[in-house]
Amino acid sequence: MVKAVVLGAAGGIGQPLALLLKANPLVTELGLYDIVNTPGVAADLSHIATPAKVQGFLPPDDGLKKVLTGADIVVIPAGVPRKPGMTRDDLFKINAGIVKGLATGIATTAPKAFVLVISNPVNSTVPIVAETFKKHGVFDPKRLFGVTTLDVVRASTFVSEIIGDLSLAPKVVVPVVGGHSGVTIVPLLSQSSHPLPSSLSEDSHAALVHRIQFGGDEVVKAKDGAGSATLSMAYAGAEFAAKVIRAIQGEKGIVAPSYVSLESDAEGAAALTKELGQELAYFSSNVELGVDGVAKLHPLGKLTEGEQALVKAAIPELVKNIETGVKFVADSYKATL
Ligand SMILES: NC(=O)c1ccc[n+]([C@@H]2O[C@H](COP(=O)([O-])OP(=O)(O)OC[C@H]3O[C@@H](n4cnc5c(N)ncnc54)[C@H](O)[C@@H]3O)[C@@H](O)[C@H]2O)c1
Ligand SMILES: O=C(O)C[C@H](O)C(=O)O
């Protein structure tokens, strides 16, 4: 029995994500929450002939508490998306408060749930959830995940395009580490399951790295003011959620990159910190999933000189983004004293 909950379920990501979760036969209950339209989305999805019982909730009448009651896994795509010319950090002002409010609801109603954060800027919203949980004395670093799967999905697609065979895309695996914005997105192309053509020029290689790092901008530009990636994100979010669900049901050996706490006693956390050469509270690396969430963090492994430089460039930005999230929660609690 698995109850999955989507917070922000009526949005551009929320609706197709809810559809894909409804289509997942392992999900037996699907709770949808948003500030608008969830009764309609839930009624629509509830006619699909799959096991999940679907219910939609709105803020009145304790909707957040009701949707979160009994939740095993909570996915959060609530918040505003970018418009052309904006960075993900520009979303912080609005999304930080939304995420903190939802995290407070989870901390008080479903503190043991596995929490998957999609709302941007992920590098800062994940620390916001963690700090909120800490304030409530319920933080378990193994149960909190920043969803970076879209970067991994993009890397698979773009590499298979360069190899010249899109049919390979589902099989191409490229670890993408760091975080989820610009230079913090670090694709380890030297570790691709399918090597790049040896004829690929240095410039084309650099362009590929850039395209993976800034793939989100491509979509924001093409949507021309109508938002950012929604369908590919829903696909990626559902993929990652499905892996977490399989792992918590006991399947072993599931590995996926995710932005997680390094301040955890999970195997490999200390070794990863050592590889990074400095303490970082959060980092995205290959994570082995288990019944309790993060079971093991994989090392970065052998990097090329270029990849080492990319990791080095990502670290100061991550430090700044993490600090912004931590400070937001600290300040907001100070303000309420
Ligand atoms: N992690 C990633 O890789 C990734 C990829 C794409 C988008 N995103 C981010 O996901 C977020 C959502 O994007 P979108 O395109 O779905 O936006 P959207 O505007 O289409 O949908 C967001 C939904 O959140 C709802 N919402 C707002 N405040 C809420 C609250 N307090 N409680 C519950 N729901 C609330 C809105 O009503 C809306 O339905 C954005 O921050 C975007 O940047 C992340
Ligand atoms: O680019 C964005 O703002 C949305 C998302 O983070 C993405 O990578 O597509």
Alpha-carbon gap, residue 329 to 331, rounded angstroms: 5
| Closest ligand 2 atom number to CA of residue 181 | 6
Regarding whether 169 and 202 lie in a shared domain, the answer is yes
Question: Residue 309 — pLDDT band, cuts 50, 70, 90?
Answer: very high
User: Do 298 and 286 form a contact (C-beta atoms < 8 A)?
Assistant: yes
- Asked whether residue 114 is domain-assigned, the answer is yes
CATH number at residue 11: 3.40.50.720
Nearest bound ligand to CA 105? 1
Question: What backbone torsions phi and psi does residue 115 show, to the nearest 5 degrees?
Answer: -115, 125
* 123 has a pLDDT exceeding 90: yes
Regarding whether 134 and 100 lie in a shared domain, the answer is yes
User: Do 6 and 75 form a contact (C-beta atoms < 8 A)?
Assistant: yes
Regarding whether 263 and 164 lie in a shared domain, the answer is yes
Name all residues whose Cβ lies below 6 A of ligand 2: 82, 88, 120, 150, 216, 219-220, 228-229
Alpha-carbon gap, residue 266 to 187, rounded angstroms: 23
Q: Ligand 1 center to residue 268 CA distance, Å?
A: 32
Of 272, 293, 279, the residue nearest 144 (C-alpha)? 293
Minimum CA distance residue for ligand 2 atom 9:
216
Q: Ligand 1 center to residue 8 CA distance, Å?
A: 6
Q: Which contacts qualify for 140-143: CB closer than 8 Å, 24 or more apart?
A: 140/112, 140/293, 141/260, 141/261, 141/263, 141/264, 141/266, 141/294, 142/260, 142/264, 142/266, 142/292, 142/293, 142/294, 142/295, 143/112, 143/113, 143/114, 143/115, 143/292, 143/293, 143/294
- Asked whether residue 329 is domain-assigned, the answer is no
| Closest ligand 2 atom number to CA of residue 81 | 3
Q: Is 34 annotated as a binding residue?
A: yes
pLDDT of residue 90: 93
pLDDT tens track for 27-62: 999 999 999 999 999 999 999 999 999 999 999 999
**Which of 128, 147, 166 is at the close of a domain?**
147
Question: Residue 334 — pLDDT band, cuts 50, 70, 90?
Answer: confident
ipTM above 0.95, yes or no: yes
pLDDT of residue 336: 74
For 323: left if phi > 0, alpha if psi spans -120 to 50, otherwise beta; the answer is alpha
pTM value > 0.95? yes
- Asked whether residue 205 is domain-assigned, the answer is yes
Regarding whether 182 and 85 lie in a shared domain, the answer is no
Nearest bound ligand to CA 123? 1
For residue 25, the enclosing domain spans: 3-147
pLDDT tens track for 236-271: 999 999 999 999 999 999 999 999 999 988 999 999
**Which of 122, 147, 172 is at the close of a domain?**
147
